[in-house]
Amino acid sequence: MSIPQSDVERRKQISVRGIAQVGDVNEIKKTFNRHLHYTLVKDRNVATARDYYFALAHTVKDHLVSRWIRTQQYYYEKDPKRVYYLSLEFYMGRSLSNTMINLGIQNSVDEALYQLGLDIEELEELEEDAGLGNGGLGRLAACFLDSMATLGMAAYGYGIRYEYGIFAQKIINGEQQEEPDDWLRFGNPWEKARPEYMLPVNFYGNVVDTPNGKKWVNTQVIFALPYDSPIPGYNNNVVNTLRLWSAKSPIDFNLKFFNDGDYIQAVLDRNLAENISRVLYPNDNNFGGKELRLKQEYFMCAATLQDIIRRFKAAKFGTREYTRTDFDLLPDKVAIQLNDTHPSLAIPELMRILVDIEGLPWNKAWNITVKTCAYTNHTVLPEALERWPVEMLQNILPRHLEIIYQINHLHLEEVLKKWPGDLDRMRRMSLIEEEGGKRVNMAHLSIVGSHAVNGVARIHSEIIKSDLFKDFYEMTPEKFQNKTNGITPRRWLLMCNPGLSDLISDKIGEDWVVHLDQLSKLTQWAKDPNFQRAVMKVKQENKLKLAQLLEKEYGVKINPGSMFDIHVKRIHEYKRQLLNCLHIITLYNRIKRNPSAKCTPRTVMIGGKAAPGYYTAKKIIKLINCVANVVNNDPMVGDKLKVIFLENYRVSLAEKIIPAADLSEQISTAGTEASGTGNMKFQLNGALTIGTLDGANVEMAEEMGRENIFIFGMTVEEVEELKRKGYNAYDYYNANPELKLVVDQIQNGFFTPNNPDEFKDLADILLKYDRFFLLADYDAYIKKQEEASNVYQDQAKWVEMAIHNIASSGKFSSDRTIIEYGREIWGVEPSYEKLPAPHEPRELTLKEN
Ligand SMILES: *Cc1c(COP(=O)(O)O)cnc(C)c1O
């Protein structure tokens, strides 16, 4: 293995990564060798690179455990209000680098590995991503965990330990193929199974009336086995817990078969029950409506709520331990945040626990439930809103359906009280939809069952008040809030872009890592030629590194001097990768028409996964690859334009791509992207944005000033106006010959001579069925791209704008987002105090909870 001396040297300089102390380095070497020997059972003659990765991961994890145990002891002792973040997705990515950074041991580990003759960057690449998410929603949950730990909050992530995460994407003949993500194949050194905390979850059965109220009986039980992963805060000795549930068959599963004597069949069928946590559903912004998914959602909620109630009851005051029975205190001690409606069954489940099990009166239980729960909406797209068939709930969760009906009954009484005789409003606001088969609208359930409802960017929060949830806003305006999303600056700058991190720390110190607002101090050097040169140099190095990676991994050669124009996110019609394609083809046609015209060389990179069942998204991937094939092999084009599809976009790839970006594509139809967080990552890393006034782009533009961003296209109001008057794509197609040519080329198979009909359906969408108005924004987009190309010619101007981007990204730290959730929803304040380190004395020696 070769040692990249420059990287080791560079990483050494950074003091935020901790200073390498001889004692620490020797200790790490010893621990590493001990793990190689005792944990991996290998010596250096037979150890593989993966063995070294695991030895290193265990070594770094060892540094966490005392802090982890102590943090949990501290929470048990102090009994602060706990925050529970419930999510069907946690898109964590890799843990090794992040853990070393947050613990401040990166330099010691670097030095230790160097002395052992090992290449740490090579080992880091062997870690599987924890790909337990689809895109923005899952990554948000991961950023929030980092911020909550860094802000010293007693917070817990709760979700599912999917055996298979988001599929691996392979591009074969230009098409996406999915491979199962068997991420646990080699074991997961970061998790700890906790079989002693296993809990039962019930399904099916029926409801009976008893003298003590309703009882859910004759159920099938499946156990939920918790796996805990540590969530280290940045430099504060706090380690929180992400608890993920795995489905486990009970010993007596299929007893009927045992009695029938079919022992083998009974054992084989245990797998069926365990399918609940087998695989992440790969839909982004789409409701699939599958029964197994409903079971996953309930499985997570039921196990989590038992855990929450158990921990609530096991309060400890001073030296006195007791069981808490006063559930009025629940909202003072527990906040439950629902990441979209996916965990919304937590609401009827909490009601079932309080009413059926704890014996509380309905009204009291309802007040407690509403005060405890809060709901975050992530989308206004109708196809993404969860609406479970009543029949399915009746079968799987009969008691919960009854509870939902009762909630609805009381809710509609309130509606009628406020708007007597307004039957249409009652129909619109019902939790039960009647049209096309009865369904439960889970967003309506979530709003009614929560004390706070929030959107994820200002514009999105306004849209849910004025449109999607207008009736509910009119009924309870005090519930509706905004919490603009953010990203963690630890992973998305300090860790992924050490060059830029150093440069920033040299100028303004290291406080920005936990107070990202301080980046605004960089504004004073926006015009400073020395600082500009330094920022450009870092960007150039990052681009070179990405170019080398692409050449090594995919054999594609790109020009590192070209503009890196990057569009990475899930493939979805509303995100308009197809609009980017129209631009690429336009550039191609212009080069062909006028080969001698001067132009800004571009490398356009598009990446992202399509949901396996999303036909149009998969076709868009194929079009990008077919266009790339023509453009990249046309000698007349040469270095002026290259098109790359970035295979298997995921967290660890994002960390390599984003620091190398010049231009960030954020071009969704105004009103469709709730916030976006990819946009923020690019801004933080000094890319300029070309984007619409959608989601958080609006606030980004406001923070940096319109002169530092390429904003184009229709506003939300203009889109609404266009919908009212009726959109006719042919108006735009016929009015613009350049656009007409591009659409015709897609239509008539210009990029697939062997199959001229290949993209007819895409052209048909553009001209006849386009819900996202691509042609209406085409002209403005092309003009804005020209402007970006022109500015790029003036490198000093470009880097000045880039510095303004970085300097104004402070708002988009997820620390700021979490502080707002804490103050305005949870009633929890951040703490910047450090817990004592493991070697420091502590007053408390109490059992873990
Ligand atoms: C941040 C992130 C996303 C979200 O990107 P958007 O552009 O906001 O849709 C999706 N996938 C990965 C891997 C990410 O890191």
The pLDDT tens digits for 18-54 are: 778 888 899 999 999 999 999 999 999 999 999 999 9
Query: Can you say how many angstroms the Cα of residue 592 is from the centroid of all Cα atoms in its chain?
Result: 41
pLDDT in tens, 98-144: 999 999 999 999 999 999 999 999 999 999 999 999 999 999 999 99
- In eight-state DSSP terms, residue 525 is G
Pocket probe for ligand 1: among 280, 490, 570, 667, the residue whose CB has the most ligand atoms within 8 Å is 570
Overall average pLDDT of the 760-788 stretch: 98
- Distance, CA 537 to ligand 1 centroid (Å)? 26
Q: Are 619 and 761 in contact (CB under 8 A)?
A: yes
Calculate how far, in angstroms, residue 420's C-alpha sits from the geometric centre of ligand 1.
45
- Residue minimizing CA distance to atom 11 of ligand 1: 135
- CA–CA separation, 212 and 230 (whole Å): 42
Confirm or reject: Cβ of 135 under 6 Å from ligand 1. Answer: yes
| Cα–Cα distance, 215 to 209 (Å, whole number) | 6
Could you state, in order of their start, the residue ranges of all structural domains in the chain? 82-94+132-161+192-225+237-485+819-844, 489-812
Based on its alpha-carbon atoms, the radius of gyration of the chain, rounded to whole angstroms, reads: 28
Å from CA of 516 to ligand 1 middle:
20
Looking at ligand 1, which residue's alpha carbon is closest to its atom 6? 678
Share of the chain above pLDDT 70, in %: 96
**Ligand 1 in contact with 152 (CB < 6 A)?**
no
**Cβ within 8 Å of residue 746, ≥6 positions away:** 585, 623, 759, 762, 763, 766
Nearest to 88 by CA among 17, 21, 165: 165
Residue pair 426/416 in contact by the 8 Å Cβ criterion: yes
Tokens of 24: 């620490």
Q: Is the CB of 678 under 6 A from ligand 1?
A: yes
Contact status, residue 510 vs residue 101, Cβ threshold 8 Å: no
| Residue-wise pLDDT tens digits, 155-183 | 999 999 999 999 999 999 999 999 999 99
Say how many Å lie between the CA of residue 162 and the centre of ligand 1: 20
Residue 845 has pLDDT above 50, yes or no: no
Distance CA 753, CA 755 (A): 5
| pLDDT, tens digit, 9 for 90 and up, residues 625-651 | 999 999 999 999 999 999 999 999 999
C-beta of residue 274 within 8 angstroms of C-beta of residue 262: no
CA 16 – CA 202 distance, rounded (Å): 48
Domains 82-94+132-161+192-225+237-485+819-844 and 489-812 share a fold: yes
- Tokens, residue 590: 């212009």
For the segment(s) 82-94+132-161+192-225+237-485+819-844, the CATH number from 3.40.1800.10, 3.40.50.1820, 3.40.50.2000, 3.40.1360.10 is 3.40.50.2000
Does the pLDDT value for residue 608 go beyond 80? yes
Q: What residues contact 537, with CB distance under 8 A and at least 6 apart?
A: none
Query: Distance, CA 845 to ligand 1 centroid (Å)?
Result: 42
Q: Does residue 351 contact residue 365 with C-beta atoms inside 8 Å? A: yes
Cα of 158 to ligand 1 centre, how many Å?
Answer: 21
Beta strands, E only, 219-372: 220-232, 239-248, 316-317, 320-321, 334-339
Q: State the pTM of this model.
A: 0.96
Beta bridge partners of 206: 217
CA atoms within 13 A on the CB side of 166: 29
Atom 9, ligand 1: which residue's CA is nearest? 569
* CB 165 near ligand 1, within 6 Å: no
Q: Is 774 helix (H, G, I), strand (E, B) or coil?
A: helix
- Assess whether the C-beta atom of 136 lies below 6 angstroms from ligand 1: yes
Distance in angstroms (rounded) separating the CA atoms of residues 334 and 147: 19
Tokens 């659409």 -> residue: 743
Residue 691 Cβ contacting ligand 1 at under 6 Å: no
Q: Which residues are catalytic?
A: 378, 569-570, 575, 677, 681
What is the spatial distance between Cα 148 and Cα 808, in angstroms, rounded to a whole number? 23
Condensed to tens digits (0 to 9), the pLDDT of residues 277-288 reads: 999 999 999 999
State which of 134, 139, 647 you would mutate to test the pocket of ligand 1, scoring each by most atoms of that ligand within 8 A of its C-beta. 139
The larger pLDDT score, comparing residue 844 to residue 310, is at 310
Beta carbons within 8 Å of 410's beta carbon, 6+ residues apart: 366
Distance of CA 523 to CAs 696, 723, 813, Å?
Answer: 21, 41, 18
Inter-CA distances, 25 with 15, 103, 111, 365, 631, Å: 15, 14, 7, 55, 51
Q: Residues 346, 336: contact at Cβ < 8 Å? A: yes
Cα of 595 vs centre of ligand 1, distance in Å, is: 36
158 secondary structure, DSSP code: E
Residue nearest to atom 5 of ligand 1 (CA): 678
- Atom 8 of ligand 1: nearest residue by CA position: 676
Distance 139 CA to ligand 1 centre (A): 7
> Which protein residue's CA is at the shortest distance from atom 10 of ligand 1?
135
Residue nearest to atom 7 of ligand 1 (CA): 678
> Quick check: CB of 650 below 6 Å from ligand 1?
yes
Homologous superfamily in CATH for domain 489-812 = Glycogen Phosphorylase B; (3.40.50.2000)
Residue 733 carries which side chain, given as an amino acid letter?
Answer: Y
Closest-CA residue, ligand 1 atom 4, reads 136
Picking from 474, 484, 418, 420, the residue whose alpha carbon sits closest to that of residue 447 is 474
